[in-house]
Structure 1
C-alpha cells in the first residue's frame, strides 16, 4: 500500500489533502542518499529522477503547496500546455497523459491551463512517481562530516549524503519597503481565495501577470480594485494565430517551451551555458526576459474593467483607521493620495539564501553567493557546499529564465539526479 493523497476530480482541489500514512512508512532509514526539501514541480521531478537512479530518497513538503495555497483560485498558468509537464524519468506522465488517464478535458495548443487542473496533475504525478512524500517540516539542515544532519519538526534526526533545496517561492516574497510597516498589506502570494475582498477597495502594486490577473479576479468577485504601475505602460502578449494549435515555429521564430523566438529558444536549449555570462548580464536577463506582462487571454478581463494608473511611483503608506492611505508621485510629478481597505503587493520575488532559515546559520555562511543573495551554482546545480543543491527559482541566476517555469524541471531534475548519484558512488568508494 502506498501513501496516497485523496483529491477531487473536478472543481476546486482540496486545500488540505487527506494523507494516509501506512504503517510501513513509520520505519525510516537512519540515513538517506538524498533529501529533497519541497514538493512542488521541481521537488517532485528531482525526487522522481533521484529514485529512478536507485538512490534512497526522502522528500519533504506539502504537495503542490504554493499552487494550492499561494495562488488565486481561478487563475491560469502563463505557460502553454506543452510547456507545463513535470519531468519524469519514464514516459507516460505528461500533462496530456494526465488528461487522457483521468478523463479531463484535453489541454492542447495555446489554451490556458487552469490552476485547478494543474494541481490535480501535480498530485497525480506525485502518486505515480513520488508516492511517499512526507508532509513534515524540515527545521534544520547542518553539516555532518562529509554529509548532512537533517532535523524534522517532530524531533526526528537523520543523516543524508545530499540535500536538494526545492522550496520554490516560499520565503522569497518581495514587498516594497514603504509597505512593510503598515497593516492591511499583503503579498499577492498570500491569497488563494480572493472572494473575501468582495465589496472592498483594493489597491494592487505591480505590472506583471500576478498584478493583472489578481486584479481581474478581484473585479470578478465584486471588489473595487485599482492597479498602480510605476512604468509608463502595461504590456499584454499578442494572441496566437490559432488558440487550438501550437505551431512548429519558423527559422526566424523557432518555437520553445518559453515561447517563439531565437532568444527564448537559446534560454531553453542552452540553459547550461547561461551561468558563464557575466553576473550583471545574468541578473538583467532573469529580471527582464518574459518580465512584467500579462497573458494574451487576460487583456479583455482588465482593459475597460479595472482602472490601471501608469507612471505612479509609491512614496509612502500610512494607516488611517481601518484603511491604508497611499501616496504616489504621478507621471508629471504631481502627488496623488488615495485610501484603500487593503493593499496587495504583486511585486515579484527575490531569492535570498539567508531567508532559508531551515539551513543552519553556519551552513548558510559557507554558501558562496551571486550578487549577495543568490546561491552560486556549478554545472550540476551544486552549491559551494559539496552535496547541497538548489533548483527551481533559486537556480535562475545560474541557469536563466527557464528556471522560473515548469518546463525547466526536465533540465534540472536530470542534472541534479546525475550529480547526486555520482556523489553517492564517490562516497561509497571511500568507505
Structure 2
C-alpha cells in the first residue's frame, strides 16, 4: 500500500470495523461521547444472512445495546404495549427489529463496505482501504468483526469429511432445501439441536445428530450471574485477568455448563419426532461421495447411513490471524497474539496504540462472556474510556 496523506482519505476520530451488536453499541456510545466516527459494514449482516429464519435466541430482553440505558429492548416493547413475557424466548426476527429501531433512534450511520486492508502509518494513525478503493484515515480503529471469520472446523473432522460436501451451520441457513432429504449434523450442543428442530419443521426426511458426549439436559440456562459480572466489569475491567488460572477455569466452566451442558426446554418437543435420530458418544470415522452425489457415512458404532448433506455444528474459535484485512496490511506482524487472541489492555487496546479489538477475540483478557451480546455495553463503555483518554 502506498503512503497516504489526509487529502487522499476521509478523516475520522474512530473507525469501527463491524456493524453487528458490538459495533452498533459502540457507535452509539462514541457518538454520545462527541467523537467523530465511521462504522463500516452492513448492519447485522451476519445475523440476517448466517442464521436461519425462525431461530430462537438464548438471550433475554436485558441484553440490550444502550450504554445509557435509554433505548433498551423493554423501551422498544413499551412502544408496542408489550412486555418481556410476551416475546421471550426471543425470535431472531424480533431482535433484528429491535436493532433496526435502535439504529433509527440513535440516528447512527454506516458505510456499507468491507475493509480490504488495514495499515498503521508512521505517525501512529491508521489507514483502511475499502473494497471499492475508498481510503479512511482514523486516529483510532476498533475491530468488532464478531464470528464471521472464526468458523471452527476441527482437524480430526476435516480428515474424514468429504471435500466440498459439507457446510458449517452459519453457511447452511436455507433449511427449506432439505425438504424430503436426509441430513447429518456433527455436533450435539444448542446450535445442533436448533438446526435439527428447524430442519424437522422444514420436513426433512431424516436428521441424524452425531456427537461425542452425552446428550445435554433440556433445562433452562441461568444467565443471571453473567449479567452481574459483565456489568461490573465496566467499572472493574481487570476483574477477569486478575483471577488465578484456577479461578478462570472455574468461571469458564460455569459459563460452559450453562451454554453447553444444557439445551433450552423449548427445543425438546421439536426434536422428538421420528425423523430426528440422536447418536450420543459416537464419532464419524469415514465418508464417501456416491455417484449420485449423496454421502455414505460410517460411524464408530458400526452404523452406516446415506445422507444428502453434512452440517457442522462445531462453533467458532478465536484466531485473529484469520481476519482478512489484517492479513492484507502491516498490522498483523506487529500484533501481540497469544493462543489466537490479541493481547489487550483494560480498554481493549492492543499493543498497537489506538487499535482496539472486541467481541469473541477479547476472550483471553476479558473472559468467555465476550462471545455473547450480554457484553456489548461493558465493551463499549471501556473502549469509549480508552478513546477519550487517548484523545
What's 2:97 paired with? 120
Counterpart in 2 of 1:86? 65
2:266 is aligned with 1:297: yes
Q: Aligned residue for 2:198?
A: 217
1:67-78 to 2 correspondences below 5 Å: 67-78=47-58
Q: Quick one: structure 1 residues 142 and 181, their matched pair in 2 at CA, closer, same or farther if it must change by over 3 Å?
A: farther
When the two structures are superposed, what TM-score results if normalisation uses the length of structure 1?
A: 0.80
Q: Which residue of 2 aligns with 1:315?
A: 285
Equivalent of 1:406, from 373, 376, 384?
373
Whole-angstrom distance in 2 between the partners of 1:104 and 1:349: 37
Corresponding residue for residue 259 of structure 1: 223
Aligned residue runs from structure 1 range 225-244, under 5 A: 225-238=207-220
Match of 1:348 in 2: 315
The structural deviation recorded for 1:232 is 2.2
Deviations 1:119-178 (A, max 9, x none): 111111112225211111111111112111111111111311111111111111112333
Deviations 1:11-39 (A, max 9, x none): xxxxxxxxxxxxxxxx9973211001111
Give the conservation status (yes or no) of the 8 Å contact 2:16–2:27: yes
Instruction: Please list the CA deviations of residues 378-406 of structure 1 after superposition, one character each: whole Å capped at 9, or x if unmatched.
Output: 11111111111111111122212321222
- Taking structure 1 as reference, are residues 68 and 198 closer, same or farther at Cα in structure 2, changes over 3 Å only? same
Equivalent-residue separation in structure 1 for 2:23 and 2:385 (angstroms): 15
Task: Provide the C-alpha distance between the structure 2 equivalents of 1:269 and 1:170, rounded to a whole number of angstroms.
Answer: 28
SS at match of 2:268: helix
Listed as ranges, the gaps of 5+ residues in structure 2 are 1-6
Q: Check 1:267–1:132 CA distance in 2 against 1; reply closer, same or farther (3 A cut).
A: closer
Aligned to 2:149: 171
> What's the Cα RMSD here?
2.5
What is the match of residue 112 of structure 2? 135
C-alpha distance in structure 1 between counterparts of 2:336 and 2:125, whole Å: 18
- Aligned partner of 2:298 in structure 1 is 327
What's 1:107 paired with? 84
State the Cα distance separating 1:329 from its structure 2 match. 1.8
Q: What residue number does 1:4 align with?
A: none
Cα deviation per residue 1:314-364 (whole Å; 9 max; x = unaligned)?
A: 22333223122222223xxxx333221001001110111111011145311
- Mapped to 1, the partners of 2:332 and 2:217 lie a distance apart of 38
Runs of at least 5 residues in structure 1 that lack an aligned partner in the other structure: 1-26, 240-257, 426-431
Find 1:366's aligned residue among 331, 334, 339.
Answer: 334
Q: Does 1:51 align with 2:31?
A: yes
Other structure's SS at 1:36 match: strand
Secondary structure of residue in 2 paired with 1:51: helix
> Structure 1 pair 55/265, CA: closer, same or farther in 2 (3 Å)?
closer
User: Does the 8 Å contact 1:30/1:158 carry over to 2?
Assistant: yes
- If the length of structure 2 is used for normalisation, what is the TM-score? 0.87
Distance in 2 between residues matched to 1:397 and 1:290, nearest whole Å: 19
Residue aligning to 1:149? 127
- Number of matched residues? 371
